[in-house]
Structure 1
Amino acid sequence: MELRKEYDLICVGAGIMSATLALLVKQLKPDLNVLIVERLDKVAQESSAAWNNAGTGHSALCELNYTPEENGHISIKKAIDICTQFEISKQYWSYLVDKGLIKNPSSFINPVPHHSWVKGKENADYLEKRYKAFKEHFMFNTIEFTRETNKMKQWFPLMMHERTNDEVMAASRIDRGTEMNYGSLTEQLFAILEKEYDTKVLFNTEVEDIDPDHDEDWLLKMENLTTGKKSTLDAQHVFIGAGGGSLLLLQKVEIEEKDGYGGFPVSGEWLVCKNRDIIEQHNAKVYSKAGIGDPPMSVPHLDTRFINGKRELLFGPFAGFSPKFLKEGSYMDLLKSINFDNIPAMWGVFWHNLPLTKYLIEQVAMSFEDRMKSLRTFVKDAKNEDWEILVAGQRVQTIKKDEFEGGSLEFGTQLVSSKDGKITCLLGASPGASTSVKIMLEVLEKAFPEIMSTENGKALLNEMVPFYTKEVTQDLFDECLQRSNEILKLNRDLINT
């Protein structure tokens, strides 16, 4: 057993969340001792990897599940919240670029217009109502709307092949949308941590348990997966940001706040275009509506991506089922996660979400031709030989106790924290990485309120993220948007890239 060493903060998992939290902590108080522990041999290999997520800068510009229709009225409250959080992320990334810590912003963020596209009169009417609601708010007032086929041909020509004017369709567009490579961003954040702050990642190491230790510290029990050697570390604060693996570790932590949480694993697949000529015909992210009874995570989209320096084209996602909680996880993960505390919640979610079970069974049963048929609702003349299936990341949808139904299935992110803020765990997925900075600021507020409240801390946070603790007015929004777009080089046209 190795000698124990004490840290101010240990982050479990080397993804976008841990990278963001560790860097914020070191920038606010450089003398704090921080360590990241990762079970794989590289950073950003699970949920943060480019091929494992949608890559959309989730700012609610095109995702229709953030703007539900309620009694004939379109609610944009959640869209405003998501948009604000993504702009906070952009402000922080702009700060890193402006300080020279990240040299080339196009390595992780690029301008790609965001579109919503629907078929049928009822859906078209809904989209027009959404457009009118968006047009009245300063965050979305550059939105465009059309029912005209010719206009859609300008926006996303690939999707208009073989379309006729008698098809009932509608689309909206916001130019300032972005495409994100969270894997590249995560790698660069860890590079800053190592170069500027001498903060390391302990690779090939699995945290097996976290127990209370003396003086309100936490004791992490670990195993080196290469050598089998056991070790322990002390930490005053622990952040569990291990993607799908977070739940299993949280369940071992002795805090009452963890009780009742469960997880439902969902795997994903993309159709990826192999034909470069087709890829060059599409410069857009186009989101549609989920099918009737389908979950929000099933929203189909045809996306331009920039991965490893190349432009790509993806369609999906297609859901699948695997009992693993991580892509590199164990087939026993789901079984291990079921315990006495969460059985009522797990059963409640199953019983009250039978359509989700039906949806997953149908998705798992889909053949390649079935997937191509779905693609052809977007690209009518899509040919089988131009596309292939790629397995995406593993997601664990959070299940929590519900007073009335036993349990509820959560489709967003969930922050679980001890009362004293000494241990925090992030569960869930979408919109996830897009709102990483806002979520990690919440962790800081719980774990390190003393460094957030100093005059130096307040001033630095105001420089990093001007939206932080402020009311977002139109003037402030416009000013910060213009600045971040200039620094991140988002005011350029990539149609001919």
Structure 2
Amino acid sequence: MSSVQKRTDVILIGAGIMSATLGSLFKELVPEWEVKVFEKLESAGEESSNEWNNAGTGHAALCELNYTTEKPDGTLDISKAINVNEQFQISRQFWAHLVNKGLIRNPEAFIRSIPHMSMVQGENDVRFLKKRLEALTNNPLFEGMVLSDDPEQLRDWMPIVMEGRSVDEPIAATKIDSGTDVNFGALTRMLFDHLTGQGVEVNYKHSVEDVKRLANGLWEVKVKDIEANTIETHTAPFLFIGGGGGSLPLLQKTGIPESKHIGGFPVSGLFLVCKNRDVIEQHNAKVYGKAKVGAPPMSVPHLDTRFIEGRKELLFGPFAGFTPKFLKTGSNLDLIQSVKPYNVVTMLAAGAKEMPLTKYLIEQVLLSHNKRMDELREFIPTAKNEDWEIVVAGQRVQVIKDTPDGKGTLQFGTEVVSAEDGSVAALLGASPGASTAVHVMLKVLEQCFPSRMPEWEPKIKEMVPSYGVSLSDHPELFKTIHESTAMALGLKEKGVVHN
């Protein structure tokens, strides 16, 4: 193998939505910087960002019940729902900025309006849903959400969910029309097309083999050109690791103190996909239910209208699976190789604490097609086995780390790990992930380039007008921004389609 060495300003590992977003921010803020991307697969957005590997929900806590929790005194904590919604609004603003500047086109190819609904059954859950509606609709971010416990109204909202259903216990649903379906695969590919046009060098079929810090402070990345079978060595003062499940092993290779006492637990997802076009056309919403006891938050069951490659689809899931791989294209040795002397206690502590999750995953792995269809029939009572097939979705590596609550705590969010000097950052974790990509990458900039932020802030506010401001506390600003982003992205607002 031959070897070459090259110097650049920024290296991004992984061609997913996170690297696409960070690269786009860099090209707006410091267009003179040279940026290089390395991706081991053949094209952008093929792992976690791919449209078949995630739920495609614009996560804004409009329908996801796990973002609102009931406290011991009976009141609801909606702080996480507000945070997730605010973060999605940041993504909407940045995407609208790119569209308005002509940097990406045809937003309907990656985002569409779709009602978001939460459906529950049983007296206790209906009571919870009503309490949730009251708490959320006091906040401007959730204006327009309505609830019905009338079976006739519900039949109008979600006909295939109500058809053949015996209403022998209370049932209710909330509905809000400002929800979105987001094709993160399409968006990722559009952003990389934009970056390529801006002079960013994107190297596909290039696998990062090693990462190390040089004496001069630069990060050296050893890259294998898979097709040419050559080794390239690239250096840069800033390195971002956005390789999905593959980020943890690369973060460990950096050797930074912040990478210690962190582990990862892989959870795979499967969806049932409808093959019957007549059934698909009868449903037009994202309907979320409640997660089963012991299930991770990412396993909240939902019946989703999706738009993939311009075609309407209908998916149900996710069902959890287990494989030791950290990526769909990964190795069966990924999990065991991630266990190091400095995180083995953390990993073992998590194993001892998460027995309900382990039990749940074992049960999920053993599910037959008939059993999965039985779970679907809780949403669509008339569902037929022959109309649905299983599709393996993406791998998610849940972060395990030591926290003030104890060793080996399983984290279910998205987490940025960065070096104290800001020279390297890695993105770990899962949902809400892609929906909050712009917020998360702005956090990377804040953590890694604090001295540049005063200089960059005016441009950031031009791209994201609400940057540094809580939209929840500024209802008029939220209304203005929501309407302007809807217009730019061609979304429906209050029954009107903006073109």
Normalising by structure 1, we get a TM-score of: 0.97
Larger CA deviation: 172-181 vs 403-412: 403-412
Which residue identity does 2:178 align to in structure 1? R
Larger CA deviation: 142-151 vs 444-453: 444-453
Asked if 2 retains the 8 angstrom alpha-carbon contact of 1:347 and 1:406, the reply is no
Residue correspondence of structure 1 range 78-477 to structure 2 within 5 A: 78-195=80-197, 197-402=198-403, 405-454=406-455, 457-472=456-471, 473-477=474-478
Return the offset for 1:404.
5.1
The secondary structure found in structure 2 opposite 1:392 is: strand
Asked if 2 retains the 8 angstrom alpha-carbon contact of 1:268 and 1:317, the reply is yes
Which residue identity does 1:199 align to in structure 2? V
Asked if 2 retains the 8 angstrom alpha-carbon contact of 1:111 and 1:494, the reply is no
- Give, in whole Å, the separation in 1 of the partners of 2:60 and 2:8: 35
Cα deviation per residue 1:396-451 (whole Å; 9 max; x = unaligned)? Answer: 11111245542100000111000011100000010000000000001112223344
The secondary structure found in structure 1 opposite 2:216 is: helix
Over aligned residues, Cα RMSD in angstroms?
Answer: 1.4
Asked if 2 retains the 8 angstrom alpha-carbon contact of 1:345 and 1:402, the reply is no
- Give, in whole Å, the separation in 2 of the partners of 1:166 and 1:321: 36
- Give, in whole Å, the separation in 1 of the partners of 2:281 and 2:243: 36
Cα deviation per residue 1:259-283 (whole Å; 9 max; x = unaligned)? Answer: 0111101111100000000000000
Cα deviation per residue 1:316-352 (whole Å; 9 max; x = unaligned)? Answer: 0000000100000011101100111111111111111
Cα deviation per residue 1:12-50 (whole Å; 9 max; x = unaligned)? Answer: 000000000011001111100100100111110000000
Aligned residues: percent identity?
A: 49
Asked if 2 retains the 8 angstrom alpha-carbon contact of 1:28 and 1:451, the reply is no
Cα deviation per residue 1:375-405 (whole Å; 9 max; x = unaligned)? Answer: 0000000001110001101111111124554
The secondary structure found in structure 2 opposite 1:252 is: helix
- Give, in whole Å, the separation in 2 of the partners of 1:370 and 1:163: 19
Return the offset for 1:100.
1.2
The secondary structure found in structure 2 opposite 1:3 is: strand
Which residue identity does 1:434 align to in structure 2? S
Which residue identity does 1:159 align to in structure 2? V
Which residue identity does 1:483 align to in structure 2? S
- Give, in whole Å, the separation in 1 of the partners of 2:320 and 2:465: 38
Return the offset for 1:486.
1.0
Residue correspondence of structure 1 range 35-54 to structure 2 within 5 A: 35-54=36-55
Which residue identity does 1:305 align to in structure 2? R
Which residue identity does 1:459 align to in structure 2? P
Asked if 2 retains the 8 angstrom alpha-carbon contact of 1:40 and 1:203, the reply is yes
Normalising by structure 2, we get a TM-score of: 0.97
Q: Which runs of 5+ in 1 are unaligned?
A: none
- Give, in whole Å, the separation in 2 of the partners of 1:2 and 1:445: 35
Q: Which runs of 5+ in 2 are unaligned?
A: none
Which residue identity does 1:280 align to in structure 2? E
- Give, in whole Å, the separation in 2 of the partners of 1:295 and 1:413: 14
- Give, in whole Å, the separation in 2 of the partners of 1:15 and 1:293: 30
Q: Does 1:65 align with 2:66?
A: yes
- Give, in whole Å, the separation in 2 of the partners of 1:115 and 1:121: 18
Asked if 2 retains the 8 angstrom alpha-carbon contact of 1:396 and 1:428, the reply is yes
Which residue identity does 2:475 align to in structure 1? Q
Return the offset for 1:165.
4.2
Asked if 2 retains the 8 angstrom alpha-carbon contact of 1:352 and 1:405, the reply is no
- Give, in whole Å, the separation in 1 of the partners of 2:109 and 2:135: 34
- Give, in whole Å, the separation in 2 of the partners of 1:341 and 1:225: 32
Return the offset for 1:494.
11
The secondary structure found in structure 1 opposite 2:431 is: coil
Aligned length: 492
- Aligned residue for 1:485? 486
Which residue identity does 1:171 align to in structure 2? A
Larger CA deviation: 329-338 vs 197-206: 197-206
